[in-house]
Copies of this chain bind each other. A is one copy, B any other.
Amino acid sequence: MAHPLASSVQVLAFDIFGTVVDWHGTIVREMSLLHPGVDGDAFARAWREGYRPAMARVMKGELGWTPIDQLHRMILDDILPRFGLQDMGDVERRYLNRAWHRLDPWPDSVEGITRLKRRYTVCTLSNGNIGLLTNMAKRAGLPWDCVLSAEVFRAYKPDPATYLGVAQVFDLLPEQVMLVAAHHDDLAAARACGLRTAYIQRPLEFGAAHPKDVAAHPGNDLHCADMNALADELGA
């Protein structure tokens, strides 16, 4: 039997990096092809670690509005010397930076989201820019009804403008929207705005060498092993 929320929720908004796609595994694989001698695991984590500080600079007004593609490039330029890659040319940097458009979905993502789409409106809610998310979806076969992004709301998560923005776009109450994410801080911020929340376990988000604690958090409405489990819970 479907969860009681199945009938009140109308829109499922999905976090992307780590929740729907495997950024760590993809960056490691791309790096192993380009520079097999580099520690791809450390490189992937360093690139990702620069992400929050870079967004914080934008939100504090130190930088104007900046799409994630540009933030990824700034961080890349910053970390390359640490991995002995300071001589990488611009063409390769551009190519590597676009790896974030080529992230592979977790094995359950396309099937689970396709099932959920039959019953719900499924959209992204990511700090990634619209072009990145669209290119990723087209390559991976992610069947979004609509691509929503920090770029639409001119604010990054966890700014309330993003979570409430989804409800406004669809002319719904916050509790008719559910955020689906693998990160408790993102879900907590959505909950504070009145959204429903579903946690997805992604123990390997940071690679097999750094397993993530995926224990249940009592605040979330749902706690699921993957997207197919979410579809089961929601009767889709």
Contacts and interface: CB of A to CB of B under 8 A. Distances in A.
Can you tell how many copies of this chain the complex includes?
2
Interface stretch (A16-24, A26-34, A128-136): A128-136
Interface in A175-216: none
A69 B172 CA distance: 13
A150 to B, nearest CB: 12
Contact of A170 (B134, B169, B170): B134
Nearest to A130: B169
Contact of A138 (B131, B145, B148, B169): B145
B171 A69 contact: yes
Name A's interface SS. helix
For the side of the interface on A, what is the size category?
Answer: 20 to 34
A220 interface: no
A173 B167 CA distance: 33
Contacts of A231: none
A169 B121 contact: no
A131 B69 contact: no
A85 interface: no
Interface string A108-149: 000000000000010100000111011101100000011110
A134 B152 contact: no
A199 B138 CA distance: 26
Contacts of A138: 121, 145
Contact of A134 (B134, B137, B146): B146
A107 B170 CA distance: 27
Contacts of A129: 169
A100 B147 CA distance: 21
Which of A121, A134, A135 neighbours the largest number of chain B CB atoms within 10 Å of its CB? A134
10 contacts: A69-B171, A121-B135, A129-B169, A130-B146, A130-B152, A131-B169, A131-B171, A134-B145, A146-B146, A152-B152
A151 B137 CA distance: 22
Contacts of A170: 131, 134-135
Given A130-B146, A147-B147, 5 more contacts: A121-B135, A129-B169, A131-B170, A134-B145, A134-B170
